[in-house]
């Protein structure tokens, strides 16, 4: 009997010991898996991920942006929540604070990680003057040098990387045509891959990268067909990018002998929600909710007298797209419901 008690004590002590050791070594991990509610999320990307990094002159800070959530313009390029918010809710944490707000929040406000994403940016420079992916990672590096996060924090944290759409629109604006795109994709993937390795190099052991959305189905691409048909050549460009990305991710995981990198398939998630079921007209899926009243205006524009030069649809909660390039909260909600089954790989 006594022996048994001793044995139980011994087991218990062993358990306590290993448990303490473990929680000291890797906070946020339980049995080697990330724990819901206690991981940190670091985000790099563009407007699909930005939750407020831009200064107040940006469209994301003007009406009617943000009117579904949080109820007024607050820096998101949508009527409400964006990808970052959904991923954070899946992880059971607050949406990470935008980098440019870090000094305005209390230290505890930094515990769910940080969002370095800026709308309009890319892996390379775009026509928008905002930090590209390398610079966003520089910001992260600076914070780590200032010891804003510990090695243990990073060990159980997750990085979300979501961009590249603006790289393609910039390419087209520069070159006027899709010709030469495969070579561009190759250099883009190689730069992206180097950036992902850099993030991993700081000690982040799970990095989720989104595939490119179907560029040909964005309202800006479908407007010419009255929002009826997606542009197949643009979608083919997205698919080519995604194929190269997935190959590179596989190669990198093989090289690191661990599944550090995961792709989140935005392309498939969007397409599954944009394919009309039954006899619903495709236009009801492809039509943006908020549009300019004439071609020289866009969502959120006002004239010099302050008069609105845009119209908002009656039911944004049914729209996939909010403006010419950005999903509405409902769109993100639907995309999230498609992505959800693959998000378990982040734990």
Q: Which residues are catalytic?
A: 47, 323, 326
Query: Of how many residues is the chain composed?
Result: 347
Among residues 257, 304, 242, 329, the alpha carbon closest in space to that of 66 is found at: 329
Residue with tokens 């119209």: 311
Query: At closest approach, how far in Å is the CB of 32 from ligand NAG?
Result: 16
> In the bound complex, what is the minimum distance in angstroms from residue 340's beta carbon to ligand NAG?
8
Q: Which of 37, 180, 182, 276 binds ligand NAG (CB under 6 A)?
A: 37
Please name every residue paired with 33 in a beta bridge, in sequence order, or none if there are none.
30
Q: Among candidates 40, 29, 21, 140, which has minimal Cα distance to 84?
A: 40
**186 sits near ligand NAG (criterion: CB under 6 A):** no
Phi, psi angle pair for 119, to nearest 5°: -55, 140
d(CA 58, CA 61): 6
Q: Which of 229, 246, 283, 338 binds ligand NAG (CB under 6 A)?
A: 229
For ligand NAG (CB under 6 A), the number of binding residues is 15
Provide the minimum distance between the beta carbon of 195 and ligand NAG in the complex, in angstroms, as a whole number: 8
CA distance 122 to 164: 5
The stretch near ligand NAG (CB under 6 A) out of 10-18, 89-97, 100-108, 204-212 is: 89-97
Between 4 and 31, name the residue whose CB sits nearer to ligand NAG.
31
Interacting residues of 49 by C-beta distance below 8 A, sequence separation 6+ = 43, 82, 83, 84, 115, 117, 160, 162, 163
Q: Which of 112, 158, 190 has the alpha carbon at shortest distance from 260? A: 158
30/308 with CB nearer ligand NAG: 30
Minimum Å gap between C-beta 241 and ligand NAG is 16
Q: Report if residue 228 touches ligand NAG, rule: CB under 6 A.
A: yes
Q: Kindly report the CA angle at 330 between 329 and 335, in degrees rounded to 5?
A: 95
Q: Can residue 193 be called a binding residue for ligand NAG (CB under 6 A)?
A: no
Among 124, 149, 168, 171, binds ligand NAG (CB under 6 A): 124
Please choose, out of 19-27, 87-95, 181-189, 270-278, the segment that lies near ligand NAG by the rule CB under 6 A: 87-95
Q: What angle do CA 284, 285, 291 make, to 5 degrees?
A: 75
Which residue in the set 18, 175, 226, 233 belongs to the binding site for ligand NAG (CB under 6 A)? 226
**Residue 4 CB, nearest approach to ligand NAG (Å):** 37
CA separation (Å) from 283 to 109, 286, 319, 343?
42, 5, 11, 30
Q: How near is the Cβ of 35 to ligand NAG at its closest, in Å? A: 9
Residue 125 touches ligand NAG, criterion: CB under 6 A:
yes
- DSSP summary character for residue 329: H
Handedness of CA 67, 71, 74, 76 (dihedral sign): negative
Among 18, 36, 186, 233, binds ligand NAG (CB under 6 A): 36
By CB under 6 A, residue 262 contacts ligand NAG: no
Instruction: State how far the Cα of 222 lies from the Cα of 123, in Å rounded to an integer.
Output: 25
Q: Which of 22, 90, 139, 155 binds ligand NAG (CB under 6 A)?
A: 90
Residue 185 backbone phi and psi in degrees, to 5: -55, -45
Residue nearest ligand NAG, CB atom distance: 92
Residues 294-313, mask of contacts with ligand NAG (x by CB under 6 A): --------------------
- Give me the residues that bind ligand NAG (CB under 6 A), please: 36-37, 89-90, 92, 124-125, 132, 134-135, 191, 225-226, 228-229
């Amino acid at each position: 009997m006594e022996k048994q008690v001793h044995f139980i004590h011994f087991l218990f002590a062993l358990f306590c010991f290993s448990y303490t050791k473990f929680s000291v070594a890797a906070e946020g991990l339980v049995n080697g898996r990330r724990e819901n509610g206690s991981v940190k999320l670091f985000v790099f990307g563009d407007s699909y991920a930005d939750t407020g990094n831009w200064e107040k002159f940006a469209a994301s800070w003007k009406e009617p942006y943000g009117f579904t959530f949080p109820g007024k313009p607050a820096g998101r390029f949508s009527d409400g929540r964006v990808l970052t918010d959904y991923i954070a809710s899946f992880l059971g944490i607050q949406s990470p604070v935008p980098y440019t707000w870090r000094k305005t929040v209390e230290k505890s406000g930094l515990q769910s990680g940080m969002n370095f994403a800026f709308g309009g940016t890319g892996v390379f420079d775009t026509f928008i003057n905002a930090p590209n992916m390398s610079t966003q990672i520089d910001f992260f590096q600076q914070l780590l040098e200032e010891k804003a996060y510990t090695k243990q924090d990073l060990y159980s944290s997750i990085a979300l990387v979501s961009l590249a759409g603006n790289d393609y629109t910039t390419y087209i604006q520069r070159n006027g045509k899709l010709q030469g795109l495969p070579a561009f994709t190759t250099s883009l993937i190689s730069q992206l891959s180097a950036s992902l390795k850099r993030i991993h190099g700081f000690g982040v052991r799970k990095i989720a990268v989104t595939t490119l959305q179907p560029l040909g189905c964005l309202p800006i691409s479908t407007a010419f067909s009255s929002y009826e048909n997606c542009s197949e050549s643009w979608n083919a460009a997205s698919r080519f990018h995604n194929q190269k990305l997935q190959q590179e991710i596989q190669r990198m995981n093989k090289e690191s002998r661990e599944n550090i990198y995961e792709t989140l398939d935005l392309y498939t998630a969007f397409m599954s929600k944009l394919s009309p079921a039954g006899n619903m007209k495709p236009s009801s899926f492809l039509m943006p909710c908020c549009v300019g009243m004439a071609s020289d205006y866009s969502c959120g524009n006002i004239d010099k007298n302050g008069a609105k030069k845009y119209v908002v649809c009656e039911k944004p909660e049914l729209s996939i797209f909010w403006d010419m390039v950005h999903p509405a909260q409902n769109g993100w909600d639907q995309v999230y419901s498609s992505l959800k089954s693959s998000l378990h790989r982040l734990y």
